Structure 1
Amino acid sequence: MVHTCVVTGCRNRRTPGTGLSFYRFPRDPDRKQRWIEAVNREGWVPNDGSRLCSTHFISDFSPPVFPHAGKQVKNPRSADYVPSVFTTAPLSPEMKEPGAVEILDKQEARVEAANALLFLQGQGSTAVGERVQEEHPEEREQEAIVEESASSSLSTDDEDEDESVSDSKKGKFDAPVNFEDILRALKKENQALRESVEKMSLSENSLRNDAEKVKFYTGLPNYFVLETVMWLLAPHMDGMKNVRLSKFQQLLLTLMRLRLDLRNQDLAYRFGVKVGMLTKTVHRMVNIMSSTLVPTAVFWPSRAELRKNLPAALRTSHPDCAVIIDCFTVPFEEPVSRGNQHQQQQRVAPSSQGEGTSYNVLKYLIGVAPQGVVTFVSRGVLGNVSDKTLAEGCGFLCKLLPGDVVLAARNLDIADSVAARGALFKIACSHQGEASGSSEGSPLADSSSEAVSVQRHVERVISMVKRRYAMLTGPVESPFTAASERTSNLSTFDKIVQVACALNNLCISAAPLE
């Protein structure tokens, strides 16, 4: 909008390079009325577009074209609180400039008018001011400081309110902004942030091309194996109502719970869910994996398969070897809750045998094929239960066929039980005449190197499973030791042990006996 001064006879308008300012009429009613009276246009009322140029003020503001131009001030004590110069205004640069004599006459007239106005404004307060200064010089000095601060503040406010600053202040000569470059930079930054967030997140895309990340969080060797497990479990997860977590996230958090033994609260923070929901998800996923994955990955191989893949270390000495067995323990947090009366009776067994510490562990019987895969895992029993009782009650003997050879690195006192199935129990040891049962089931004294090899074989597999899934190192939390189903004597942790062995079998890092 091109602003033109409203004063009669003043033809100044906003022109680039002149340095003139155009002021809107004040909002304060009293001051606005005084401006209207100063303009002296009969019956005229200013509107929002009405402007008054700076040539009608006398303050010390002198641009090159209009050396007489002033600036409005909001301080009521200032001469420029109300415009006071209303002689014939100078013409704009487009018009003819007045002569030097005319300019001097006009300047003198303005100076006289200003002196008269200052005299009239100060005459009424001179006597009072002198008396106050004499009686209270400190208060007068403080008042002067306040007035100076108010004048500066009012002048600043006026500058903010003024729409018509000079063209140089408006940034006329600023370099143009290239918004396309800015938009391109913002898009690039946005893409980098998205990639960074995706890389830090626990999603399918972040794991798909990062085998090390898959291995760290799940224990599985690569994304292909993880995807295969997901494909196997997905049909059984349809009935699980969990709108916050996808099927992949439910599997991933369960594997992270087993793999890293993270606390439920930690996982709840990572996946943005409540602890109760996460706990239910872990228990349900363990039950699904126990019923679906374990039968697929942990099974007793046929005799033909065993003999076909028998390692060279046993091909000559024990060609009929079906399994190598041992026991391992996991500490738990008390109390242990079992779902059957038999376990409760075992828990209150006599403590006169001095095995008090054995009550704080769960014992498992594990069977490992000579090829290095787990073929059998028992349920857990309290540590004070004998190896013989565990072997005879866990269903291991039912897997044996007549003629099978069962190897162990130590005496588990099950030679008679194995012989009753028509199989042979042998202890790989370096000493003759160890404890024996019948002639068919007597321990067979093998070379020291073979004994060490058999012992290391089982220990290596057990160590591999525990190292891959740290939750098996214990201590087991009490909620996992309770029977997960009324129809089963398996606790949730029993299923976790079996699931960990099944997942270990899916890895390509099996440990064959050499």
Structure 2
Amino acid sequence: MGTAHQSPTDSTLKSQSAMKRYNRCRDREHKRKRFQATEALLDLQKSSPDVTERTHPVQLEGEVQNDSGNVNTPDNEPEVPLVAMMRTEIQRLISENHELKERLKKGIFSPDNLKDDNDTVKYYTGLDYHTLMTIYNFVKDYVPERANSGITKFEKVMLVLMKLRLNLGMQDLAYRFKVSKSCVSKIFLDVIHILYVKLKLFILWPEREALQMAMPMEFQQYFGVKVSVIIDCFDIFIERPSNLLARAETWSHYKHHNTVKYLIGITPQGAVSFLSKAWGGTTSDKYITENCGLLSKLLPGDVIVTGRGFDRESGGLFCAEVEIPAFTQGKSQLSPVDIETTRKIARTRIHVERVIGLVRNKFKILQNTLPIEYLHCSTDCIPTIDKITTLCCALTNMCRSVVPFD
């Protein structure tokens, strides 16, 4: 039999077809490796923060960089445009991720972010930036800081001030500071105690000589330089206690709500100089005045300006004079002298009401109904509600006074 011979043309065609198949297989394998390398690089970026610090271009597996900076494959093939675009995009994402992480580390409520934004500081704390930083530097050594807590000392102080200023919910604060709700509650109780201990000293009873030297002209015109304090009481709403006795002691017939009552005293210059502890809403103003410790601070000859709910005899035990508006009970009308005296007292006593309004408006936590847990005493035998009210008055003393000097 004869042997069939292939023509040169058929042999060439088969050889070219085999070469094309080989090239296609090689390209598919190479693309598969490049795809796997890209996926591995992205996975590494997610798991390792060190990748964000790379400054050299991303180089995939099996690639070499020539002298001109172009990347070639093992077969000296220049990279395709799609891979070049992927490389550029990966490098951009790495840089952007690194920048965002650095920005996140600083946080929104950090000294660097707030130092040029005084309006934001006033909105969240009621203070200006310099006052805020003075307070922080004064207490920062006493604020606890745990490793990996995710919140700085400055943010803890800001958390408490934001709670006092805006009365934000615990869950809201947890979202803002990226911690748990239970962590926010613990931070608030811990830091409010530190701020109370360190800042309660700003509620100071001044010396008589200091008062007389800075006595506003309005008081000098009506009472000379003898006025030492203007007093009044204000209420804070609380939740309804479950205990019947506590419910009765805190019920205010005037407010028609369960409240605690404070006696506040201000100097003629408008600074809070005295704040009593919390009393039940049913307690009379006279009883609080006689039992809160205010009278023991008076000196003979001092003048107290107050309202009709108080008693002239209270200050008499300490040789002090109590200025109270005249009563119309049993009289058809007041005498001209009583009318003029009442007008003078009303013009000066209005300042204590303005200070109470300033404290309430500046710190909205005092405008709302506080939880009954704030009335419970901690290990230092001081209820949280006393710490809150004292701190609000002390912070108000650091702001501009509402009483004009002239």
> Do the aligned partners of residues 445 and 397 (structure 1) sit closer, same or farther apart at CA in structure 2, a change above 3 Å counting?
farther
Instruction: Decide which of 268, 272, 280 is 2:174's aligned counterpart.
Output: 268
1:498 aligns with 2:395: no
1:404 aligns with 2:309: no
Cα displacement string for residues 450-501 of structure 1 (whole angstroms, at most 9, x for unaligned residues): 334223311111111111100011211111121233x52x320111001000
**Which residue pairs with 1:324 in the alignment?**
230
1:252 aligns with 2:169: no
> Do the aligned partners of residues 456 and 299 (structure 1) sit closer, same or farther apart at CA in structure 2, a change above 3 Å counting?
same
| Secondary structure of residue in 2 paired with 1:451 | helix
| Secondary structure of residue in 2 paired with 1:395 | coil
> Do the aligned partners of residues 240 and 419 (structure 1) sit closer, same or farther apart at CA in structure 2, a change above 3 Å counting?
farther
Higher helix share: 2
1:478 aligns with 2:365: no
Query: Partners of 2:328 and 2:359 in 1: how far apart?
Result: 34
Instruction: Decide which of 197, 201, 208 is 1:303's aligned counterpart.
Output: 208
> Do the aligned partners of residues 469 and 48 (structure 1) sit closer, same or farther apart at CA in structure 2, a change above 3 Å counting?
closer
Query: Partners of 2:169 and 2:182 in 1: how far apart?
Result: 12
Cα displacement string for residues 430-464 of structure 1 (whole angstroms, at most 9, x for unaligned residues): x57789xxxxxxx9764455334223311111111
**Which residue pairs with 1:103 in the alignment?**
none
Instruction: Decide which of 111, 124, 128 is 1:204's aligned counterpart.
Output: 111
Identity across matched positions, percent: 31
> Do the aligned partners of residues 218 and 391 (structure 1) sit closer, same or farther apart at CA in structure 2, a change above 3 Å counting?
same
> Do the aligned partners of residues 464 and 414 (structure 1) sit closer, same or farther apart at CA in structure 2, a change above 3 Å counting?
same
Query: Partners of 2:112 and 2:250 in 1: how far apart?
Result: 56
5+ long unaligned stretches in structure 1: 14-19, 28-46, 50-169, 338-343, 436-442
Instruction: Decide which of 349, 354, 368 is 2:266's aligned counterpart.
Output: 368
Is the deviation greater in 205-214 or in 238-247?
A: 238-247
| Secondary structure of residue in 2 paired with 1:315 | helix
1:396 is displaced (CA, Å) by: 1.3
5+ long unaligned stretches in structure 2: 1-7, 28-77, 331-336
| Secondary structure of residue in 1 paired with 2:268 | coil
> Do the aligned partners of residues 189 and 237 (structure 1) sit closer, same or farther apart at CA in structure 2, a change above 3 Å counting?
closer
TM-score by length of 1: 0.57
1:230 is displaced (CA, Å) by: 0.8
> Do the aligned partners of residues 214 and 349 (structure 1) sit closer, same or farther apart at CA in structure 2, a change above 3 Å counting?
closer
1:202 is displaced (CA, Å) by: 2.3
Query: Partners of 1:180 and 1:510 in 2: how far apart?
Result: 64
| Secondary structure of residue in 1 paired with 2:149 | coil
Query: Partners of 2:102 and 2:329 in 1: how far apart?
Result: 65
**Partners of 1:469 and 1:500 within 8 A in 2:** yes
**Partners of 2:270 and 2:401 within 8 A in 1:** no
**Partners of 1:370 and 1:513 within 8 A in 2:** no
**Which residue pairs with 1:422 in the alignment?**
319
1:345 is displaced (CA, Å) by: 6.4
Query: Partners of 1:362 and 1:242 in 2: how far apart?
Result: 39
Cα displacement string for residues 394-420 of structure 1 (whole angstroms, at most 9, x for unaligned residues): 211122111111111x22333212111
> Do the aligned partners of residues 185 and 301 (structure 1) sit closer, same or farther apart at CA in structure 2, a change above 3 Å counting?
same
**Which residue pairs with 2:360 in the alignment?**
466
1:365 is displaced (CA, Å) by: 0.6
**Partners of 1:379 and 1:394 within 8 A in 2:** yes
> Do the aligned partners of residues 414 and 483 (structure 1) sit closer, same or farther apart at CA in structure 2, a change above 3 Å counting?
farther
Query: Partners of 1:310 and 1:479 in 2: how far apart?
Result: 41
| Secondary structure of residue in 2 paired with 1:360 | strand
- Counterpart amino acid of 2:122? K
> Do the aligned partners of residues 22 and 233 (structure 1) sit closer, same or farther apart at CA in structure 2, a change above 3 Å counting?
same
Query: Partners of 2:392 and 2:180 in 1: how far apart?
Result: 25
- Counterpart amino acid of 2:21? R
- Counterpart amino acid of 2:206? P
**Partners of 1:482 and 1:492 within 8 A in 2:** yes
> Do the aligned partners of residues 175 and 229 (structure 1) sit closer, same or farther apart at CA in structure 2, a change above 3 Å counting?
closer
Query: Partners of 1:444 and 1:419 in 2: how far apart?
Result: 20
Query: Partners of 1:191 and 1:26 in 2: how far apart?
Result: 40
**Partners of 2:250 and 2:260 within 8 A in 1:** no
| Secondary structure of residue in 2 paired with 1:483 | coil
| Secondary structure of residue in 2 paired with 1:385 | coil
**Partners of 1:211 and 1:223 within 8 A in 2:** yes
- Counterpart amino acid of 2:259? V
**Which residue pairs with 1:226 in the alignment?**
132
Query: Partners of 1:330 and 1:248 in 2: how far apart?
Result: 29
> Do the aligned partners of residues 491 and 445 (structure 1) sit closer, same or farther apart at CA in structure 2, a change above 3 Å counting?
farther
**Partners of 1:336 and 1:478 within 8 A in 2:** no
Query: Partners of 1:175 and 1:309 in 2: how far apart?
Result: 79
Cα displacement string for residues 202-225 of structure 1 (whole angstroms, at most 9, x for unaligned residues): 2222212110111011111x2211
Query: Partners of 2:133 and 2:343 in 1: how far apart?
Result: 41
- Counterpart amino acid of 2:373? P
